Structure 1
Amino acid sequence: MHQFPTPVLMPTPPQPTPEIGGWVQDRVLGSGGFGTVTLWRHKESSETVALKKTRQELNPKNRERWKLEVDIMKRLKHDHVVTAMDVPDPLKPSIDHLPFLAMEFCSGGDLRKVLSRPENYCGMKEIDVRNVVRHVASGVEYLHSKRIIHRDLKPENIVLQEEEGGEVVYKLIDLGYAKDLDQGSVCSSFVGTLQYLAPELFASQRYTRTVDYWSFGTLVFECITGSRPFLPNRNPVQWHLEVKRRKQDTHIRAYEERTGEIKLASDIPAPHHLCQPLVERFESWLQLMLRWEPQGRGGGGNNRATCFELLDSILDLKIVHVLDMHTGQLYSYPVEEDETVESLMIRLALETQMPVEHQELMFSTGMSPDPNGKVSQCWEEPGKDDNFVFLFNKNFIDESKFVFKPLPEVVKVMIAEPHTLQPYPERKKSYGLSYHYCRQTADNYNQLFKGSRASMLNLLRLQNTMTKLVKEISSSFCTYKGQAAHFMASLECDMEKYAEQSTTGITSEKMFRSWRETQKEVEAVTTVHQDEVLKHESASTALQTKLVQPQRSPLARRRQIEELDDIAKQALTLFNELRQTPREDRMHYRDSQKMVRVVLSCVTKRDVLVKDIYTHLMKLIELRKEVKELLPKIQRTLKDIEESRKKLTAFQRKRQQDLWTLLKVVLQKVPGNSPDPGGVDNRTTPPPRSLSSSTSSVSSVYLEKTCEESMVTRNENQDVRGRFSEMFSSIMNLESDSFTNTQSLDWSFLQDAMEVRHDRDSTKESVEESL
């Protein structure tokens, strides 16, 4: 048989990129019944423009609709409506061609692309829902203020613009179906995408702007849950007929049971990512937006529709999220600006049965809010997805209290019957919910890990405080000990000098007893402080050693989170493989054994990790209790040392006053010594103001008795007076420096003077009275 050579397939040469006047066509962004939208980029400036061109062969009605869209877009200017631009001169159409529409390029794609991501299978995250709803509501209200109905609100007609700083802005596009309201604000043309179409539009009835409310409500429900509200797997004709017969004003969804029975409900179904306060408020709002009859839809309103006012109150809600580390439950509370943290703790006590005095709130940084401060400490501006506050019991943590998230019913059925062959739609639902469960489990454990880390950081803060206090009491005690040693040395010297000159008759048993008592007290206090400081240093060192182990624990790192993340990625891979199944293969039935193994692996790993993290948390709580018990003891010791230092200063001052009094009385007993060398009669001169009351009294009486004798013998004792002046100056210097050693003073002149003349008994009595 003759064999022909195998033909060689030549690669198709790349098509040249269109270029006009420096503008290069980048790519096609989309196409529809009217025409195509392409992205053009300037070669030099990198400026971009999205250029929408319509087909030239449109019928007269559609040509008018196209011209109306261009005209409307050029009149609009709003942050959440795509901005129309001037068509660059090189790209302008010929005179006989329909006009082009140039628009800003939104690089983030459309909302349908976002909703189609696997992570949004059960709805978008709370922060993303807030942003979408706020931005779309703003754009719709703006159009209505310009007397324009969009009439085709759907995820494909909402695009994302990524601003500087990572902020995402959602904008309305495609006003091809938009219509200016006439004088009666009523229209009757049939337009829009059927799945999001209001009932009156679907039935070709007369309508108003409330058709946008229905479409908006349908879109919001899909953002929250990941699917449309009314029998999303059925075509519009089927679900319209089914829902119309049975829907009440409060119903916001219709779903089909496994038995085939259709039910209607007034709630937002789980799973989703919204906290309970938002769920409750959005349910009420959706009941307003998804009313079958247009009368009353949106709530009416004179100047502004009620639905927009209600939406503002929902989106502006300040919510504090508190994760109970004992149960794993998340509590979310709407709060007011003037509310205190203590009032939040009271609300927690009612719901968790944990008394306020046992509660300990922590931020992820390990710091705790001020209970007497405003609750705004616990609330962050929307924009952060994990503004959690962690709730601990100060005394213990109990693993048995932890509440595991239940498996979705569909996933339970899949696990119970892993070999059962299922059609593609059922497997897609069970796979999507399985991935969501694995992802949520990893995220929930991540929050537990953050709470554990907050507890660790809090403990490290306490440890740092404890270390500083221990250093502070050691330093304070060293200072005190040095001052006490100096004081004791000075006191011992004074007592020795006192004993040496006591034979002269200058004695005071009261003063000497006081000195001995002071000596014993200072020695005892120093010993007590030393024992306390050593005990605290030892306890601190022991705690420092205990604190090393939790910091080295594997639970102080992120490895465990990565293990659950890996399992969630496995579930994602299986889900994506299923979604990418060719259309012709979707007719075959398949089992779900692979996904069942992944889900069971997730549950097993979760149980082990939760047990480990609670064991870790228990150790942290016990260590925190030990540190908190030690801290007040250290603080009390520090306060005692400071008080002892003050008392030591008072002892020193008292001792100096005793010495000063002793010297003064002795000098007054020296014949010829007079406070007034100028010869003034001292009987009429008041005692000096600087003397103590007791010393002043003794001096005054003695001076009256010895004034004449002192006048006679003044010259004889001039030397004694001079030496006393020097001594008095030294004593005054002692008062300015409380811990100067008095050993340097020369006391011999007193003995010399007293050997000359004094009366031993009278001097002793005078000293005792003065002291």
Structure 2
Amino acid sequence: MGDSRPIQSTRDYIYRTRDRIGQGAFSNVYRGVHRESGVPYAIKVPRSCNSAQELERETIALTSLCHENIVRLYDIQNEIGSGMPVFVMEFCSRGSVLSLLEDPENHNGLHDRDIIALLSDIASALKYLCSVGFVHRDIKPGNILVSETEVGRNIFKLSDFGSSKFIQETGEYESLTGTEEYLHPHLYERAFIDRNLGGKFTSAADLWSLGATLAHAVLGEVPFRPFEGSRKNRNEMFKMISRKHDQDIYGRQSTPNGKIVYYREIPSHCNISLGLRQHLETIIRGLLRGNASQWTLDTYTREADHVKKLTPHTVLLAESLAFCQFYAEPYQTIDRFLKAICGNWI
């Protein structure tokens, strides 16, 4: 519904159905503009009347949230002709992290500057959500949108709060939701392996999803992949994520039902500099733990803040004649700086 005519409008906004910039289970998203100002907005249009009811959950969540790293809901208007409710949201010019990874220069993952911004921006968003008692419950690359500043810096913003839940009173929830490639092992088991399992879930599920999302952003592909793909062999996928060691950051299976091979380091072909890899490996490992040793949000936000404050230096390695990026602690002495470089690369 609402997509039959090439140009659609509400009282204050207009959009073309060919300008679709995203789609989900319940809606399509278009690039539209304000009639008078010409300012661009993201116009979220339900697929049907039933979908409109499903989107009410996201609307309720977004109207109570206000943070620079969370996509804003500006208005709700009715589409002229169909009467369908239309959600007018912040327009993020760079798309999502998923679409950013489709750019040729990001084929092997995002580069340092974007990864550091992603770490910091999502840490800030999750800290805010925690302070108001929300869990997102569907963190993934497609649900992190990217806006660009006037100086060319990317800002990362959490979006799609249709699965979010207010859990301030209990800190727990029971319902199953999320995207399976990024699900915490306990959620995955109950959703796809044994529906009769009981149990409640906490914000730890968001942190696992964030770890898988960060790994995807660094690797350029999903971190855990059975031979036939996660959705064609869910038993192998569950085995892969539930049996991994705390030090493992991604896993692969090269033959049907074959041996699962885990990796503990970011591969050399990725775009992340050598100087940043160790920090990222530590963060991803900490988040991708399905047990009591999993990092808390406080631990993650501290480490994300620490990485943001590191000072980048370009170093020429004499042996290989290669330039490498090294990240030093603020106010680090020259002596400690040189020792750190030797410890990492020589």
TM range (shorter): 0.7 to 0.9
Whether 1:18 aligns to 2:15 is no
User: Judging changes above 3 Å, is the alpha-carbon distance between structure 1 residues 240 and 292 closer, same or farther for their aligned structure 2 residues?
Assistant: farther
Q: Distance in 1 between matches of 2:93 and 2:220?
A: 23
Tell me if structure 2 keeps the 8 A contact 1:67–1:99: no
Query: Which segments of 5 or more consecutive residues in structure 1 lack a partner in the other structure?
Result: 1-13, 354-771
Distance 1:267 1:186 in 2: 33
Deviation at residue 230 of structure 1 after TM alignment: 1.5
Partner of 1:407: none
Q: Distance in 1 between matches of 2:339 and 2:135?
A: 48
Alpha carbons of 1:66 and 1:132: their partners in 2 closer, same or farther (altered >3 Å)? same
Identify the residue that residue 302 of structure 2 maps to in structure 1: 309
CA separation in 2, counterparts of 1:210 and 1:57? 34
Q: Would the alpha carbon gap of residues 161 and 309 (structure 1) be closer, same or farther in structure 2, given more than 3 Å must change?
A: same
Pick the aligned partner of 1:184 from 170, 180, 196. Answer: 170
Post-superposition CA distance 1:46-82 (Å, at most 9, x none): 13332323344428xx83x522210110111111101
Equivalent residue number for residue 593 of structure 1: none
Q: 2:132 aligns with which of 146, 158, 163?
A: 146
Match in the other structure for 1:45 = 37
Distance 2:303 2:66 in 1: 25
Q: Is the 8 A contact 1:37 1:51 kept in 2?
A: yes
**Does the aligned pair in 1 maintain the 2:55–2:162 contact within 8 Å?**
yes
1:230 corresponds to 2:216: no
Secondary structure, aligned partner of 1:313: helix
User: In the alignment, what sits opposite 2:23?
Assistant: 31
Aligned to 2:71: 82
Which AA in structure 2 matches 1:42?
H
Name the CA shift for 1:167/1:33 in 2 (closer, same or farther; >3 Å): same
Q: Distance in 1 between matches of 2:343 and 2:310?
A: 22
CA contact (8 A) 1:148 1:181 kept: yes
Check conservation: 2:309, 2:329, Cα contact below 8 A. Answer: no
2:50 counterpart SS class: coil
Please, which of 188, 191, 197 is the counterpart of residue 183 of structure 2? 197
Alignment of 1:92-103 (within 5 A): 92=78, 99-103=85-89
Deviations 1:239-279 (A, max 9, x none): 33322563222222222357953222322233222233422
3-state SS of paired residue (1:58): helix
What is the alpha-carbon distance in structure 1 between the residues aligned to residue 133 and residue 332 of structure 2?
Answer: 42
Choose from 147, 163, 167 the match for 2:153.
Answer: 167
What percentage of aligned pairs have identical amino acids? 26
Matched, 1:212 2:206: yes
Aligned residue in 1 for 2:102: 116
- Contact 2:225/2:253 (CA < 8 Å) preserved in 1? yes
For the 8 Å contact 1:320–1:332, the answer to whether it is kept is yes
In structure 1, distance between residues paired with 2:340 and 2:138: 44
The match for 1:251 among 248, 252, 268 is: 248
* Aligned-pair CA distance for 1:187: 0.8
* Structure 1 position 272 matched with structure 2 position 259: no
Q: Distance in 2 between matches of 1:352 and 1:85?
A: 50
Distance, in Å, in 2 between the alignment partners of 1:329 and 1:73 is 48
Give the drift of 1:123.
Answer: 1.4
Structure with greater strand percent = 2
In structure 1, the residue corresponding to 2:252 is in which secondary structure?
strand
Rounded Cα–Cα distance in structure 2 between residues aligned with 1:215 and 1:235: 15
CA distance in 2, matches of 1:105, 1:244: 35
Is the 1:126–1:273 contact (alpha carbons within 8 Å) kept by the matching residues of 2?
yes
Count residues in correspondence. Answer: 328
Matched, 1:327 2:303: no
Post-superposition Cα deviations, 1:115-166, rounded to whole Å, max 9, x if no partner, equal 1223222211111211222212222222122211111111111111122222
Distance 1:350 1:262 in 2: 31
Using the size of structure 2 for normalisation, the TM-score is 0.82
Looking at structure 1, the residues matched to 300 and 315 of structure 2 have their Cα atoms a distance apart, in angstroms, of 30
Asked if residue 241 in structure 1 is aligned to residue 234 in structure 2, the reply is no
Q: Deviations over 1:528-573 (max 9, x none)?
A: xxxxxxxxxxxxxxxxxxxxxxxxxxxxxxxxxxxxxxxxxxxxxx
After the TM superposition, which of the residue ranges 121-130 and 38-47 deviates more from structure 2? 38-47
Measured in 1, the distance between the counterparts of 2:287 and 2:187 equals 15
Query: 1:665-744, aligned counterparts within 5 Å?
Result: none
Q: Secondary structure at the match of 2:7?
A: coil
Q: Are the structure 2 counterparts of residues 41 and 338 from structure 1 closer, same or farther at C-alpha, using a change threshold of 3 Å? A: closer
Q: Which amino acid aligns with 1:134?
A: S
User: In 2, are the aligned partners of 1:247 and 1:292 still within 8 Å (CA)?
Assistant: no
Q: Is the Cα contact below 8 Å between 2:58 and 2:161 reproduced in 1?
A: yes
- CA deviations 1:399-448 (Å, max 9, x no partner) are xxxxxxxxxxxxxxxxxxxxxxxxxxxxxxxxxxxxxxxxxxxxxxxxxx
Give the secondary-structure state (helix, strand or coil) at the position aligned to 2:146: strand
Offset, 1:311:
2.2
Cα 1:134–1:297 change in 2 (3 A) is: same
- Based on CA coordinates, which of the two structures has the bigger radius of gyration? 1
For the 8 Å contact 1:225–1:270, the answer to whether it is kept is no
- Give per-residue Cα distances to partners, 1:478-526, cap 9 Å, x unaligned: xxxxxxxxxxxxxxxxxxxxxxxxxxxxxxxxxxxxxxxxxxxxxxxxx
The reply to whether residue 318 of structure 1 matches residue 311 of structure 2 is yes
Q: Partner of 1:261 in structure 2?
A: 259
Are 1:200 and 1:206, in contact at CA under 8 Å, matched by a contact in 2?
no
Q: State the Cα deviation string for residues 708-729 of structure 1 (Å, max 9, x = none).
A: xxxxxxxxxxxxxxxxxxxxxx
Letter in 1 for 2:60: D
Structure 1 segment 352-751 matched on structure 2, within 5 A? none
* Partner amino acid, structure 1, of 2:287: M
CA distance in 1, matches of 2:260, 2:334: 46
Q: Is the aligned partner of 1:289 residue 2:306? A: no
Query: Using a 3 Å threshold, how does the CA distance of structure 1 residues 101 and 17 change in structure 2: closer, same or farther?
Result: closer
Amino acid at match of 2:72: T
Q: 1:97/1:183 Cα in 2 relative to 1: closer, same or farther (>3 Å)?
A: farther
Q: Aligned AA for 1:52?
A: K
- The residue type paired with residue 306 of structure 2 is S
Q: Any gaps of 5 or more consecutive residues in structure 2?
A: 191-198
Residue 249 of structure 2 aligns with an amino acid whose one-letter code is I
Report the Cα offset of residue 85 of structure 1: 0.6
Q: Distance in 1 between matches of 2:42 and 2:343?
A: 57
* Cα gap change, 1:238 to 1:316, in 2 (>3 Å): farther
Query: Quick one: structure 1 residues 98 and 195, their matched pair in 2 at CA, closer, same or farther if it must change by over 3 Å?
Result: same
User: For the residues of structure 1 that align with 2:242 and 2:336, how far apart are their CA atoms?
Assistant: 48
Q: Which residue of 1 aligns with 2:193?
A: none
In 1, distance between residues paired with 2:147 and 2:334?
Answer: 38
CA distance in 2, matches of 1:219, 1:16: 35
- Displacement after TM superposition at 1:189 (Å): 1.0
Equivalent position SS for 1:203: helix
Maintained 8 Å contact 1:199/1:240? no
Structure with higher RCO (Cα < 8 A, 6+ apart): 2
Conserved 8 A contact 2:240-2:260: no
Residue 18 of structure 1 aligns with an amino acid whose one-letter code is: Q
Aligned-pair CA distance for 1:42 = 3.1
The AA in structure 2 aligned to 1:235 is S
- Distance, in Å, in 1 between the alignment partners of 2:330 and 2:260 is 45
Structure 1 letter corresponding to 2:263: A
The one of 84, 106, 116 aligned to 2:92: 106
Q: Does the Cα contact within 8 Å between 2:145 and 2:157 map onto a contact in 1? A: yes
Task: Kindly report which structure 2 residues correspond to 1:342-361, keeping only aligned pairs within 5 A, or say none.
Answer: 344=337
